[in-house]
């Protein structure tokens, strides 16, 4: 099957741009609905952080380190590098007897306006705590204390990444189709869109075992702390707040988005093939509307899909639309 | 004909994302080469600013106001809002006996890091001079003094926009397929990709008449002042510098790019359907390589297409590739 057109940008009554992709909604029995090619192989990127955090919880490392639901939300986060994120990660590392220099995620300017302003105006360079993946890496370091691996925990053959790979293959139900180096230098394993949706369905309806318990804790942590999973002004945070606990959502670079809907036992995975954030945010919003979890007029739904597009003077220039065949 | 896959992002030996679009290379006789659908209707957005500036020069308004090639480059610019841009536009307006408040483009934060830092750290709001289109609007106001129109020069039926529409239809060789409100509130007229390439071919090989003279002056101004057409770190500026005067390039919002190659009499127009800048910049770079105007190892070619993709720690994560069938 080929890519399906999912989201369109209209201007002056004409189609200006469009986004194609693949979408799978799955439950414990398999595919419930799909658009595009469920078998398309993708890199989940940061959308699979709850899978990458599974060994941390399942192994008992999280409890041994006394991690709270805030820590678990940060382990699943692509955060804005606001003080509420960086301070918590800094204290987390300190609690492990470690520091920022033990991270291997690299540094980049935070997306949080205040944090960015503070650095820019003081001429200060960002550190690894500001990296949107620093919580995930603090989780890797926490697991590493239990596994007693070396300091280079992002190497493919490191015990931490071998544990992550095992969890990834078991939850997606697939052998990894390959791997790549992620923006934060951790290995990112490839799977099908169906496999990623299958994994999310597992998080939505966990088994009554230690893995299920770990999955439940991670989903509850994401839902309890939407502001820690991304940050103010970000889609994951604003949409999860609007969903009022009905679903956990997580984005990934290059336009991946996943959803976990416990009350329905549904898992969602989507990839916009052009890698553009606009299309992925609009598509996950469309799916929340389709499932009746969000209303067309909710401020978050309007921001990411249903409100008119406006310009610098506030004049209406066009609108985002769901392509024909993509759920209205 | 349908959209052609043009640019791909590969990671770990797997295709991660891809960009589809339409490309036409034309000369005075018509299409020379094309990918995708030459008849696809698009909004040129800012890529057609040299057409929007034609009435300014052809009418004699530019000479009457004593505009230099720097002014003409700014009239064709989507600039970064650096001091070199905003000061020139401010002085230009002052020379017309007008001010920032006469602009109708709206305000947004400048892309230039220093200008942005100055505003953010002093808690100052950006003004309309910072709008990337302020030079185009200063050109509209200059033409308006000659046409004696009202102050709302961005309205569709205003003499300035009627003159722009006439120039647009004559250079593209098409009746406009529709129009939309641009980000800067000016009308943006729709045409086919072929029509836009035809217009650029006209700028590449101007006739020996007053229009041709105006087209020649605008192309020479863009080529003479690449830093005024966009700004430091921007694709139009860096690629035009790398081309050493062989071509004028201009980008437009939603992933449009045009090229004017006087020495070959060629006009280029491309639209990446997803509206993503990455794809448009890589595609225009690929075309410059294809035409032998740029080398694979030129720093600008490397930045926008041929260099490996790296992450926050400088590790190679993948590469951009030209899709099969798109010129190597």
pLDDT per residue over B75-128, tens digit each? 999 999 999 999 999 999 999 999 999 999 999 999 999 999 999 999 999 999
Q: Is A283 on the interface with B (CB under 8 A)?
A: no
Look at residue A73 and tell me if it is in a domain.
yes
Look at residue B160 and tell me if it is in a domain.
yes
Q: How confident is the model at residue B1 (pLDDT cuts 50, 70, 90)?
A: low
**Which residue ranges of chain A lie beneath pLDDT 70?**
1, 328
Binding-face residues of B in 44-103 toward A, CB within 8 A: none
Alpha carbon distance A246, A293 (integer Å): 7
What would the 3-class secondary structure string for A125-193 be? CCCHHHCCCHHHHHHHHHHHHHHCCCCCCCCCCCHHHHHHHHHHHHHHCCCCCCEEECCCCCEEECEEH
Q: Quickly count: other Cβ atoms within 10 Å of residue B212's Cβ.
A: 15
pLDDT in tens, A209-230: 999 999 999 999 999 999 999 9
Quick one: tokens of A181?
């180096």
Domain harbouring B119, CATH code:
3.40.710
**Amino acid B327: pLDDT:** 87
A55 lies in which domain range? 4-322
Q: DSSP class of residue A106?
A: -
Alpha carbon distance B147, B149 (integer Å): 6
Q: DSSP class of residue B263?
A: G
Look at residue A26 and tell me if it is in a domain.
yes
Q: Do B181 and A275 touch (CB under 8 A)?
A: no
Average pLDDT of span B28-45:
98
Q: Do A311 and B185 touch (CB under 8 A)?
A: yes
Count of the separate structural domains present in chain B: 1
- Residue ranges of alpha helices (H) inside chain B are 49-52, 54-58, 61-64, 69-75, 83-95, 113-122, 134-147, 159-172, 193-204, 210-224, 226-229, 235-243, 277-290, 299-301
**Amino acid B153: pLDDT:** 98
| Preferred mutation among B10, B11, B114 to probe A, highest tally of A CBs within 10 A | B11
How far, CA to CA in Å, does A39 sit from each of A22, A36, A42?
A: 9, 9, 9
User: Which residues lie below 8 Å from residue B153, measured CB to CB, with a gap of 6+?
Assistant: B104, B137, B140, B141, B144, B160, B161
pLDDT in tens, A90-105: 999 999 999 999 999 9
Tell whether the torsion through CA atoms of B284, B288, B289 and B295 is positive or negative: negative
Q: Which of A178, A182, A272 is the closest to B13 by Cβ?
A: A178
| Preferred mutation among B44, B182, B312, B316 to probe A, highest tally of A CBs within 10 A | B312
Q: Do A254 and B131 touch (CB under 8 A)?
A: no
Contact by Cβ (8 Å): B158, B149? yes
Q: Is B311 on the interface with A (CB under 8 A)?
A: yes
The residue whose two tokens read 């309806």 is A205
Q: Is A318 on the interface with B (CB under 8 A)?
A: yes
pLDDT in tens, A53-76: 999 999 999 999 999 999 999 999
Look at residue A298 and tell me if it is in a domain.
yes
Alpha carbon distance A56, A53 (integer Å): 5
Listing DSSP states for B101-147 in one string gives GG--S-----SSHHHHHHHHHHTPPP-GGGSTTHHHHHHHHHHHHHH
ipTM: 0.97
**Amino acid A327: pLDDT:** 87
Quick one: tokens of B59?
């009418």
Tell whether the torsion through CA atoms of B208, B211, B217 and B222 is positive or negative: negative
CA distance, residue A208 to nearest chain B CA (Å): 35
Q: Which of B178, B279, B311 is the closest to A181 by Cβ?
A: B311
Look at residue A327 and tell me if it is in a domain.
no
Alpha carbon distance A55, A143 (integer Å): 7
Q: Do B317 and A181 touch (CB under 8 A)?
A: yes
Q: Is B104 on the interface with A (CB under 8 A)?
A: yes
**Amino acid A1: pLDDT:** 59
Q: How confident is the model at residue B74 (pLDDT cuts 50, 70, 90)?
A: very high
Alpha carbon distance B21, B43 (integer Å): 13
Q: Quickly count: other Cβ atoms within 10 Å of residue B123's Cβ.
A: 8
Q: Is A281 on the interface with B (CB under 8 A)?
A: no
Average pLDDT of span B48-66:
98
Listing DSSP states for B199-242 in one string gives HHHHHHS--SSHHHHHHHHHHHHHHH-HHHHS-TT-HHHHHHHH
Look at residue B327 and tell me if it is in a domain.
no
Q: Is A41 on the interface with B (CB under 8 A)?
A: yes
Look at residue B328 and tell me if it is in a domain.
no
């Amino acid at each position: 099957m080929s890519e399906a057109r999912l989201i369109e940008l209209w201007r002056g009554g004409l189609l200006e741009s469009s986004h194609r992709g693949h979408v799978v909604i799955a439950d414990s029995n398999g595919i419930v609905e799909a658009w595009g090619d469920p078998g398309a192989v993708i890199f989940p990127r940061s959308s699979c952080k709850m899978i990458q955090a599974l060994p941390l919880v399942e192994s008992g490392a999280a409890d041994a380190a006394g991690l709270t639901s805030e820590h678990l939300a940060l382990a699943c986060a692509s955060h804005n590098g606001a003080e509420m994120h960086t301070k918590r990660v800094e204290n987390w590392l300190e609690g492990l007897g470690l520091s920022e220099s033990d991270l291997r995620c690299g540094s980049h300017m935070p997306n949080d306006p205040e944090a960015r302003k503070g650095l820019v105006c003081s001429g200060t360079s960002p550190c690894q705590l500001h990296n949107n993946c620093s919580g995930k890496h603090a989780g890797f370091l926490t697991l590493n204390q239990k596994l007693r691996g070396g300091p280079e925990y992002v190497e493919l053959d490191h015990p931490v990444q071998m544990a992550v790979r095992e969890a990834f293959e078991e939850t997606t139900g697939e052998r990894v189709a390959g791997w790549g180096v992620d923006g934060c230098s951790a290995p990112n394993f490839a799977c099908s869109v169906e496999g990623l949706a299958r994994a999310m369905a597992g998080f939505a309806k966990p088994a009554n075992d230690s893995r299920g318990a770990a999955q439940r804790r991670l989903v509850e942590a994401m839902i309890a702390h939407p502001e820690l999973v991304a940050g103010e002004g970000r889609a994951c945070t604003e949409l999860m707040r609007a969903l009022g606990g009905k679903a956990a959502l997580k984005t990934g670079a290059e336009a991946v988005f996943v959803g976990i809907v416990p009350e329905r036992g549904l898992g969602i995975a989507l990839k916009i093939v052009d890698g553009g954030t606009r299309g992925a945010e609009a598509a996950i919003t469309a799916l929340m509307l389709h499932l009746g979890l969000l209303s067309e007029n909710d401020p978050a739904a309007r921001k990411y899909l249903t409100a008119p597009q406006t310009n610098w003077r506030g004049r209406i220039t066009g609108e985002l639309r769901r392509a024909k065949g993509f759920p209205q």
